[in-house]
Amino acid sequence: MIARLLTFGDQLVASPGPYNHFNVQKGEHWWELLAEHLEIEPVYIGNTIENVGISPIWYLSKVNEILDTMTENDRFVGFVPSAWRSLSWVNEKPKHSVTEEAGPHQYTSYCEWQAKFVFDILVKICRNKNVLFVQQNLNNITRGTKQVKVVRVEKHLKDFNWVWSWIVQETGVTSNPNDFYKHYAPERKLNSKGHELVAKVMKKYVQ
């Protein structure tokens, strides 16, 4: 049976774009580079357009389904979406609200509750699974586990999401947002160099 590296998530995993609905060409995503390093098959789950801006609770529900399909040879890796998002239901479909939109995610107390809730459930459903979830540290999440890595962003750079701030912190490539966007994320989407940067960091934590 072929060993697979599964991933699912928002635009931090795969942004929509011109290459068969992806922003970079096949083989250039950070999880594809990581899978090549591990000598296993990369598998992206979902649709890049539908996955943009997904909320942590929706992410958790889909991950729970994915984990049930994993074989003993499979692995999973991904970033937990920002806690500054929320979920509602419109016309029989999920409606994800992001930072600049109205919703309970405008309250820090909600974001901290949501992050802790998702963390606690992930820890329970990931036991004995070969997975790595990376989640941002918030006040009520102080330590991670082997399966759920909690990262503290020492300096949240202006106009950066938490993952990019963490990647810059890990690599030291630049602290200037304009330079980062120019070289690694034109149009606020990771290009091939940006994915190489993320892969470099993830290789340190996925063995």
- Residue 162, pLDDT score: 87
- Residue 155, pLDDT score: 67
Tell me the chain's radius of gyration from C-alpha atoms.
16
Each domain of the chain, given as residue ranges in start order, spans 4-153
- Residue 159, pLDDT score: 73
Please check the confidence at residue 98 and state whether its pLDDT lies above 90.
no
pLDDT digit string, tens, across residues 144-178: 889 999 988 776 677 788 898 899 999 999 878 88
The mean pLDDT of the chain is: 90
Give the tokens for residue 106. Answer: 């405008």
Give the list of residues 6+ apart from residue 153 with CB closer than 8 angstroms, or none.
Answer: 136, 137, 162, 165, 166, 169
Please check the confidence at residue 199 and state whether its pLDDT lies above 70.
yes
What CATH number matches the domain at 4-153, 1.20.120, 2.120.10, 3.40.50, 3.90.25?
3.40.50
Nearest to 19 by CA among 191, 187, 153: 191
Percent of the chain past pLDDT 70, that is, above it, reads 98
Residue 116 φ/ψ region, left for φ over 0, alpha for ψ in the -120 to 50 degree band, beta for the rest:
alpha
- Residue 31, pLDDT score: 96
The answer, as to whether pTM is greater than 0.85, is yes
Q: Between residues 174 and 113, which one has the greater pLDDT?
A: 113
